[in-house]
Amino acid sequence: MSQHPPPGAPGHPAPVPALPDLPEATVARLPEYLRALHNLAEAGHETASSEELAAAAGVNSAKLRKDLSHLGSYGTRGVGYDVTLLVDQIENVLGLTQRRSVVLVGLGNLGHALAGYAGFASRGFRIAALFDVDPDLVGQRIHGLVVRHLDELPQVAAEDPIAIGVISTPAEGAQSVADRLVAAGVTGILNFAPCVLNVPGGVDVRKVDLAIELQILSFHQHRKSSAAGPAGLTALPGGLTGPGAHHSTDAAEAVGS
């Protein structure tokens, strides 16, 4: 195993700040490590090697070791990582040791499904309120919560500070919802609407666009299908071809235009 304690402190994690300044790519992978650790713990594992944890998280083991070193966690030679300790470290860094209030705006099909998602509660998030503007939805009880009119957002925020707002409205209404969330003091937004939001500095937005993810998967499927063809190339508009092709001058000019 290639986990090593830092020089000068054999067997002991190096002291790190309570909230280390982590690279964005590392932050994006920490939830995957946490999920894998929970699965390992449920399977009865008290320790896990970097190779085992990396395989469970679907990442490269060298990348995993580097990511965890930012937390001051280096594992123990011949033993690996203490699963419970590493869960605590990652949850602390991700701020999951506190229950955070979340509001959901937009109770269409997607919003309805999100309102019932059990993963929120199991990871420390509490759905505090549901909002919509559709009179047919306002007043309905969905997964134990009554849908409130969006006009009530300031009142709810005053009574229960909102950590994160989830937007699952149509695209044309998303910016207005974001503006109202920001005005209510919300500084974290998870956006499922297929649009880009304009928010002030200090407000973090994460965008989830299922259509984009499908298009990326379509690209990979198309590439595999093309590679299986006689020439392994796929024709592109304007006379261009796939990997390894020679670009004509006219085609190159067309791309640059």
Q: Locate tokens 């020679």: which residue?
A: 246
Number of Cα atoms under 13 Å in the Cβ half of residue 49: 10
110 is in an annotated binding site: yes
Residues 92, 62: contact at Cβ < 8 Å? no
**Tokens standing for 82?**
């203490």
Using alpha carbons, select from 155, 20, 142, 15 the residue that is nearest to residue 92: 20
Question: Helices in 10-168 by DSSP H: which ranges?
Answer: 24-42, 50-57, 61-69, 83-93, 109-115, 119-122, 153-159
Would strands 125-132 and 145-149 be described as parallel, antiparallel, or unpaired?
Answer: parallel
What does the CA dihedral 25, 27, 32, 38 come to, rounded to 10 degrees? 160
119 is in an annotated binding site: no
109 is in an annotated binding site: yes
242 is in an annotated binding site: no
Phi-psi region of 95 (alpha: psi -120 to 50; beta: other; left: phi over 0): left
106 is in an annotated binding site: yes
What 3-state DSSP class applies to 249? helix
Bind-site residues for NAD(+): 106-111
Question: Known binding site: residues?
Answer: 106-111
